Amino acid sequence: MRHYRTFGLTAGICLLLDQLSKIYIDTTFVLYQSLPVSENFFHITYLRNPGAAFGILSDNAIRIPFFIGVSILAVIGILWYLRKVDSRDHWQHFALGLIFSGAIGNLIDRIRLGEVIDFLDVHWYQYHWPAFNIADSAICGGVIVMFLCTWRDERLKNRANNA
């Protein structure tokens, strides 16, 4: 169990940050309230997203059971895959911890509220990226680290085969 420490710490810290930030936004801001952090670039804006990324399926009747089911399958898949990762590969444990915490963080919102609290609003003047939260950031960061780990492993395998 000791080799799951990186996974557990990463997942625990990110989940805590995600949930505390959402509680803070939900109790401090009113819906659609925006606080400029960097004018024309970054605001904290309280939004609720009933759909997935970019609002996909936001008006579909099956969205809540669908997203809860997908999140549960993702969590199970991550835990299954974690058992197969080399215990010394802390980067993959880190990546899986990020993805796991993001899936759980948004799952908690969907079960509790039926939608996800988003508040990180990145934009260039009037051109906005869809608002997101710490859970979304953790998932994206985890996927990037997993991609880099896969790339690293393939390079090492090719090097060993060519030696």
Q: CA angle, corner 68, sides to 25 and 118, nearest 5?
A: 20
State both tokens at 92.
Answer: 């993959």
C-alpha 121/C-alpha 29 separation (Å) is 14
* pTM across the whole model: 0.90
pLDDT exceeds cutoff 80 at 61: no
The answer to whether residues 71 and 106 touch, using CB atoms and an 8 Å cutoff, is yes
Number of domains in the chain: 1
pLDDT at res. 59: 61
Structural domain of residue 27, as residue ranges? 2-162
Q: What is the pLDDT of residues 107-127, one digit of tens each?
A: 999 999 989 999 999 999 888
Q: CA angle, corner 101, sides to 54 and 42, nearest 5?
A: 45
Catalytic entry in 18, 109, 121, 136: 136
- The radius of gyration of the chain's CA atoms, rounded to the nearest angstrom, is 18
- Mean pLDDT of all residues in the chain? 91
C-alpha 104/C-alpha 96 separation (Å) is 12
Residues paired with residue 124 on neighbouring β-strands, in sequence order = 127
Catalytic entry in 89, 118, 121, 153: 118
Question: Does the annotation mark 118 as catalytic?
Answer: yes
The one-letter amino acid code at 91 reads W
